């Protein structure tokens, strides 16, 4: 494919197959998605149709076709350059030489073979793509005796396409590089020995060995050994992370020291890195608003200029103007009618930015979210797991009735399946104190408050003070505990409070730096939203450098706070995906943190920060602003050059070679401009 219009030709052609429900072709990624419910359509039928349209295709796992095409295109450019140069030499040595025309014809035949073939299939598919326009222009030039001009059109066109494709392939390569991060083989423990097998044959629950210096083949949990893991390919963090028994590791990460044994938790096709690649590919398929606008514009622009070109060839001779000059102007207009530079300006920018973000541990689910991120003026943060480490610890257990061990057993039983960090900390503490699990029935989760259930026929509850009616003594205990920076979780039997946990979470040091950077990049309002008590929230907010905080909020209250902010700002909500769903959905941009650890975070948000900190948030906002700026530059420059070319055509001062460069040359320029986003660095 040479540009977006070629992609549209293939899309129309494949979609015309009776059994095909839908076909989508993405020029930037070079991929096609076909949807069908028919059992009668085979992959070979789709590949055959693509070939009939003048193109070649292969299944996503087979890159041979792409490689062969890139090599032959290089040869075509080299031989065409030689033939064209010989033609020019003979033209200047011997005026009107038939020999030069022969070499021009050979240049057209070689450089234009694929263009002519694609144009023929484009006409059959009723698609007015760039191959059709360039073919008509070159053949028209020959018909009026301008062999050199006809050869120039196709020669410059094939060079422009070659350079453009070389550049675009860099964006496609970034995804291929991600796909190759996880090794193809793993060392599996089977039948009492370690054997090397294909990673895709390893099942969930199998045990694999990872030696020092090896890449980890599958996601899992360390069962033996300790090490330092470089997981920059997943989270974008360059500093190795210390891992020990019980810690999670991810496919594609590098084991830098020590041999470990890992119990797999996902198959290869479902690993975190595989999910990232799938989501990035899906994101590249989604069109940003600016891209959708350009597509609509080009569908109108090209037919109009094509019609004007035909009229320019036909009408002026009736008014006494020279037929040859009229045809020549019409041919130039046909070339100017190509919208290639304009069409490619946005998708290549989006794909480059999304690829860069993925390499830096930021998963962007579509170009529209990048455009929204560039407009963000206010950010709301959840506290637990976002501003703080999200690993609270039980500091003390207060017993009001019964024994401490009884309270621990009840609490462990109630919270054993809970996902909130505070609940997990209570379970961890109870396990460390060897508290027993009791049989639980009639579990009921009360959003934002806690939960209730029956144990041995009696009703028990655990949660915040909102779940209970506190006595004056218990209220005083709560206030005193909170003044010391503790979160108080009560445990009750029937309507009586029998104990309480004092829990503390600590601030992430990276939050302070990230919030400072966010202020420096122009975010006007930064606020923390939490269900925790006001004193704890204010203390954490002050340490983090946040001036605004709203505490003791239910999940739906967080969503309402977002709506208030939206009255004056474009708002992003940042959370860990736990109890944040309403706020993430309500905000203009939902950003989940810690995606490497939870599937929830990857599913409930528009953008995912794979690491467990805010370090990449300022980078994301700067990347989004750069992306939008480059898109605007590309669109403005493309439209400006088109306008100048149109004026020059009617002014009679545009040579045909310059008309070609105004399109294919501009396509190369906007592509190279977009590729700058691939190397956009994180801010220090």
Q: Is residue 593 part of a domain?
A: yes
Same domain, 515 and 608: yes
Q: Is residue 11 part of a domain?
A: no
C-alpha span between 640 and 662 (Å, rounded): 10
Same domain, 194 and 141: no
Same domain, 303 and 230: no
C-alpha span between 297 and 27 (Å, rounded): 17
The tens digit of pLDDT for each residue in 220-236 reads 999 999 999 988 878 87
The tally of domains found in the chain comes to 4
47-61, 326-340, 521-535, range with greatest mean pLDDT:
521-535
Same domain, 555 and 585: yes
Banded pLDDT at 578 (limits 50, 70, 90) = low
Give residue 206's pLDDT. 93
Same domain, 209 and 227: yes
C-alpha span between 146 and 167 (Å, rounded): 32
Tokens of 339: 């919208």
Angle at 516 between CA 510 and CA 517, to 5 degrees: 90
Same domain, 374 and 452: no
Domain residues for 472?
Answer: 393-504
Examine the fold and report which residue of 590, 615, 640 is the final residue of a domain before the chain moves on: 615
Q: Is residue 544 part of a domain?
A: yes
Q: Is residue 41 part of a domain?
A: no
The SS3 call for residue 530 is coil
Q: Is the pLDDT of residue 263 over 70?
A: yes
Work out the average pLDDT over 542-558: 87
Work out the average pLDDT over 146-167: 84
The secondary structure element, H or E, covering residue 121 is helix 113-124
Same domain, 398 and 499: yes
Residue 413: give its domain's CATH number. 3.40.1110.10
DSSP of 349-408, one letter per residue?
HHHHHHHHHHHTTEEE--HHHHHHHTT--EEEEEIIIIIB-S--EEEEEEESSS-HHHHH
Q: Is the pLDDT of residue 654 over 90?
A: no
Q: What is the pTM of this model?
A: 0.78
Check: CB of residue 25 under 8 Å from CB of residue 366.
no
Give residue 65's pLDDT. 43
Same domain, 383 and 397: no
Sequence-distant (6+) residues with CB within 8 A of 150 are 104, 108, 137, 138, 139, 140, 141, 142
Check: CB of residue 677 under 8 Å from CB of residue 633.
no
Check: CB of residue 448 under 8 Å from CB of residue 467.
no
The tens digit of pLDDT for each residue in 311-337 reads 888 887 788 777 788 888 888 888 887
Same domain, 397 and 499: yes
Give residue 39's pLDDT. 66
The tens digit of pLDDT for each residue in 401-425 reads 999 999 999 999 999 988 788 899 9
Tokens of 306: 């094509």
Give residue 95's pLDDT. 64
Examine the fold and report which residue of 589, 615, 641 is the final residue of a domain before the chain moves on: 615
The tens digit of pLDDT for each residue in 323-377 reads 788 888 888 888 887 777 888 888 888 888 988 888 888 888 888 899 999 999 9
Q: Is residue 60 part of a domain?
A: no
Same domain, 533 and 667: no
Residue 234: give its domain's CATH number. 2.70.150.10
Among 106, 7, 90, CA closest to 55: 7
Sequence-distant (6+) residues with CB within 8 A of 12 are 125, 126, 127
Same domain, 473 and 535: no
Banded pLDDT at 601 (limits 50, 70, 90) = low
Q: Is residue 32 part of a domain?
A: no
Q: Which of the 8 DSSP states describes residue 507? A: B
Query: Residues of the chain with pLDDT > 90: what percent?
Result: 29
Give residue 373's pLDDT. 94
Give residue 66's pLDDT. 44
The secondary structure element, H or E, covering residue 67 is helix 64-93
Task: List, by residue number, the catalytic residues.
Answer: 382
Same domain, 157 and 286: yes
Work out the average pLDDT over 662-668: 83
**Mean pLDDT in the chain?**
84
380 compared with 55, residue with greater pLDDT? 380
Examine the fold and report which residue of 478, 504, 530 is the final residue of a domain before the chain moves on: 504
Q: Is residue 45 part of a domain?
A: no
Q: Is residue 18 part of a domain?
A: no
């Amino acid at each position: 494919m040479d540009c977006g219009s070629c992609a549209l030709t293939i899309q129309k052609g494949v979609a015309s197959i009776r059994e095909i429900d839908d076909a989508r072709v993405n020029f930037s990624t070079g991929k096609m998605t076909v949807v069908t419910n028919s059992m009668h359509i085979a992959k070979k039928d789709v590949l055959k149709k693509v070939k009939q349209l003048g193109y070649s295709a292969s299944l996503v796992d087979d890159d041979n076709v792409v490689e062969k095409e890139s090599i032959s295109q290089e040869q075509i450019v080299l031989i065409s350059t030689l033939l064209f140069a010989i033609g020019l030499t003979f033209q200047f040595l011997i005026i009107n030489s038939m020999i030069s025309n022969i070499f021009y014809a050979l240049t057209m035949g070689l450089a234009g073979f694929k263009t002519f073939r694609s144009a023929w299939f484009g006409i059959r598919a009723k698609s007015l793509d760039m191959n059709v326009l360039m073919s008509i222009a070159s053949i028209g030039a020959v018909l009026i005796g301008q062999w050199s001009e006809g050869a120039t059109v196709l020669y410059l066109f094939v060079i422009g396409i070659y350079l453009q494709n070389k550049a675009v392939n860099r964006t496609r390569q970034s995804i291929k590089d991600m796909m190759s991060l996880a090794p193809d083989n793993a060392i599996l423990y089977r039948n009492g020995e370690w054997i090397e097998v294909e990673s895709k044959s390893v099942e969930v629950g199998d045990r694999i060995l990872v030696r020092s210096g090896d890449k980890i083949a599958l996601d899992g949990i360390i069962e033996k050994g300790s090490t330092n893991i470089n997981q920059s390919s997943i989270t974008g963090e360059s500093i190795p992370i210390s891992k020990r028994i019980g810690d999670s590791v991810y496919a594609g990460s590098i084991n830098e020291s020590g041999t470990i044994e890992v119990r797999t938790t996902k198959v290869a096709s479902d690993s975190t890195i595989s999910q990232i690649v799938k989501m990035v590919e899906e994101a590249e398929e989604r069109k940003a608003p600016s891209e959708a606008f350009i597509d609509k514009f080009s569908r109108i622009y090209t037919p109009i200029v094509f019609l004007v070109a035909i009229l320019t060839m036909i009408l002026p001779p009736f008014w006494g103007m020279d037929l040859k000059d009229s045809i020549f102007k019409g041919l130039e207009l046909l070339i100017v009618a190509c919208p290639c530079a304009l069409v490619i300006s946005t998708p290549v920018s989006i794909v480059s930015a999304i690829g860069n973000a993925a390499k830096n541990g930021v998963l962007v689910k579509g170009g529209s979210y990048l455009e929204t991120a560039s407009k963000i003026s206010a950010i709301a943060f959840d506290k637990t797991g976002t501003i703080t480490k999200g690993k609270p610890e039980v500091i003390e257990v207060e017993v009001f009735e019964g024994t401490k061990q009884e309270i621990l057993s009840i609490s462990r039983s109630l919270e054993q399946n809970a996902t909130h960090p505070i609940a997990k900390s209570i379970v961890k503490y109870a396990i460390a104190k060897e508290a027993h699990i009791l049989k639980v029935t009639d579990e009921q989760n009360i959003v934002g408050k806690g939960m209730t259930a029956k144990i041995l026929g009696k009703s028990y509850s655990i949660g915040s003070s909102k779940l209970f009616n506190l006595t004056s003594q218990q209220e005083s205990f709560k206030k005193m505990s909170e003044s010391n920076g503790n979160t108080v979780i009560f445990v009750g039997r029937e309507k009586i409070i029998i104990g309480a946990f004092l829990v503390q979470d600590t601030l992430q040091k990276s939050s302070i730096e990230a919030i400072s950077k966010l202020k420096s990049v122009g975010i006007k309002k930064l606020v923390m939203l939490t269900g925790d008590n006001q004193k704890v929230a204010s203390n954490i907010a002050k340490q983090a450098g946040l001036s605004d905080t709203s505490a003791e909020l239910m999940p739906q209250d967080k969503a309402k706070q977002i709506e208030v902010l939206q009255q004056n700002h474009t708002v992003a909500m940042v959370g860990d995906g736990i109890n944040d769903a309403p706020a993430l959905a309500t905000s203009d941009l939902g950003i989940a943190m810690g995606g490497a650890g939870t599937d929830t975070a990857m599913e409930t948000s528009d953008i995912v920060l794979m690491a467990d900190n805010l370090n990449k948030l300022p980078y994301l906002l700067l990347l989004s602003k750069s992306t939008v700026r480059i898109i605007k530059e590309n669109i403005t420059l493309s439209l400006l050059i088109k306008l100048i070319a149109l004026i020059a055509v009617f002014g009679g001062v545009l040579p045909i070679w310059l008309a070609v460069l105004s399109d294919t040359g501009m396509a190369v320029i906007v592509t190279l401009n977009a590729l700058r986003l691939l190397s956009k660095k994180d801010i220090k």
